[in-house]
Amino acid sequence: MEAVLRKWGNSIAVRLPSAIVKECELREDRRIEITAEEGKIVLTPKKRRPRNDLARLLDKITDSNRHEPIDFGKPVGREIL
C-alpha cells in the first residue's frame, strides 16, 4: 500500500489507510510508539491501560493502606446517618 507524506505545521504527516486502521484496531487519539529500525519507520500501538472498575479498586485495599474512620461531627442539616 502506498501513501504520500504531506506538510502538517512544522512536521511531515502521513495518512493511514482505513484498512490498516481497522486491521490494527486503531482509533483517533490512540497513542502509538514511533521507532526507526534499519532505515524503516515502525509504528506500534501502545498497550491500552486497563479501565479501573470498582471491584479492581476494592481489591487494592489492604490493612496497611486503609485509614481510620473520620468523625465529621453531628448532623447539621437533614443528613441520613
pLDDT in tens, the chain (81 residues): 888 999 999 999 999 999 999 998 888 988 999 999 999 999 998 887 777 789 888 999 999 999 999 998 888 888 876
**Domains in the chain, CATH or no CATH each:** 6-59 (2.10.260.10)
pTM score over 0.85: no
Helix segments in the chain, DSSP class H: 18-23, 54-59
Longest dimension (CA), the chain: 71
3-state class (DSSP) for residue 54: helix
